[in-house]
C-alpha cells in the first residue's frame, strides 16, 4: 500500500512540473528561420499558440505564447530585426517568461554553447547579462525579484573575407 501511495505521489509531482519550453539553441535557430519556418517550429514542434501579428516600423511581428496562467507563461516574438543597406535582414527573436529560473538556465546554456559573457551588471529593476560570439548577441534581463524577464537574440552583421 505504501509503495502504491508513493508511486501515485511521484506521478502527481511529475505531472505538475513544467520544464522550460525554449532553449538558447532554439532561439538562435529561430533567428535564422523565415517567419513561416519559425511559425512551424513554434506551433508544431514546441506547441506554442500564435496570439496575433502586428506591423511595427515595416516589420510583421508574430507573437506566440506557451502556458495559460500568468504564473508560468512564455512568449516568443519573431519578425523584428535590422534591415541592412543591401536589403538583407539581421533577425531578432525575443523570449519573455514569468519564470526567472528559466532565464538562469538560458545563461548556462549560452555559456555552454560558446557564447562569451561580455557584460554582467544590474540596474534598479533588472539583472543584465550580455553574451556574444561572432554570430549572435544575446541580451538577458532578469527581474531582481526573479519574477521573470526577457532574452533577446540578435544576429550580428559580419563580412565574408574571401
From the centroid of its chain, how far is CA 61?
Answer: 15
Q: How many CA atoms lie within 13 A of 115 on its CB side?
A: 27
Q: Contact 146/101 with Cβ under 8 angstroms?
A: yes
Query: Phi and psi of 143, rounded to 5°?
Result: -55, 140
Q: Contact 122/66 with Cβ under 8 angstroms?
A: no
pLDDT digits (tens, 9 = 90+) for 84-141: 888 788 999 999 999 999 999 999 999 999 999 999 999 999 999 999 999 999 999 9
Domain residue ranges in the chain: 18-155
pLDDT digits (tens, 9 = 90+) for 22-60: 999 999 999 999 999 999 999 998 889 999 999 998 899
- Under the banding of pLDDT at 50, 70 and 90, the label for residue 1 is low
SS (H, E, C) 39-108: HHHHHHHCCCEEEEEEEECCEEEEEEEECCCCCCCEEEEEEEEEECCCCCEEEEEEEEECCHHHHHHHHH
From the centroid of its chain, how far is CA 108?
Answer: 13
- Among 117, 119, 124, 162, CA closest to 143: 124
Amino acid at each position: 500500500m505504501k509503495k502504491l501511495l508513493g508511486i501515485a505521489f511521484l506521478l502527481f509531482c511529475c505531472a505538475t512540473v513544467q520544464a522550460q519550453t525554449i532553449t538558447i539553441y532554439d532561439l538562435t535557430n529561430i533567428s535564422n528561420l523565415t517567419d513561416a519556418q519559425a511559425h512551424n517550429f513554434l506551433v508544431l514542434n514546441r506547441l506554442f499558440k500564435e496570439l496575433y501579428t502586428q506591423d511595427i516600423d515595416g516589420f510583421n511581428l508574430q507573437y506566440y505564447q506557451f502556458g495559460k496562467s500568468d504564473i508560468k507563461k512564455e512568449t516568443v516574438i519573431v519578425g523584428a530585426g535590422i534591415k541592412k543597406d543591401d536589403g538583407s535582414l539581421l533577425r531578432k527573436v525575443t523570449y519573455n517568461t514569468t519564470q526567472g529560473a528559466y532565464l538562469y538556465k538560458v545563461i548556462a546554456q549560452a555559456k555552454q554553447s560558446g557564447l562569451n559573457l561580455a557584460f554582467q551588471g544590474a540596474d534598479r529593476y533588472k539583472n543584465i547579462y550580455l553574451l556574444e560570439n561572432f554570430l549572435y548577441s544575446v541580451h538577458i534581463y532578469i527581474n531582481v525579484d526573479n519574477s521573470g524577464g526577457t532574452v533577446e537574440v540578435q544576429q550580428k552583421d559580419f563580412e565574408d573575407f574571401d
